[in-house]
Amino acid sequence: MIPAPVRNALEQVVALLSAGRFEDLERLDRGGRMKAGEWRRGVEEYGKKLILPPPEDLDTADVVSLRGSEDSAWSVWYRLWTEEEGKSDLSVELTVRSIGGDDMNVTLDDLRVP
């Protein structure tokens, strides 16, 4: 079972990506590494339609606790789903930091095909 802050962040990120809401994704991202246009381009270059995964699939995310952080923090890697493929080769990488209760900071690190 993945930590609640990680699951909450992952649900938000996957929902925004699947809906093509790249500006909202950019606002969610605390790190600001990629802009909305870059997220859009990455999805378009992959060439498949992103869809929401089965809810239980979020538990398959690779989650690694980060040490040396004042808050609880995790590095997360998750393979996205497409209409054409089901679970795809396209993945999203993010860092989640719990800042108390249900509050969290999300840094979107990358969108890639391994």
pTM (2 decimals)?
0.91
Residues of the chain with pLDDT > 70, as a percent, come to 94
Q: Which domain holds residue 78?
A: 4-112
Burial of 96 (0-12, 13-18, 19+ CB in 10 A): buried
Q: What percent of the chain has pLDDT over 90?
A: 72
Residue 18 — φ and ψ, nearest 5°?
-65, -35
Lowest mean pLDDT among 7-11, 35-39, 53-57, 66-70: 66-70
Q: How many CB atoms lie within 10 A of CB 70?
A: 7
Count how many domains the chain has.
1
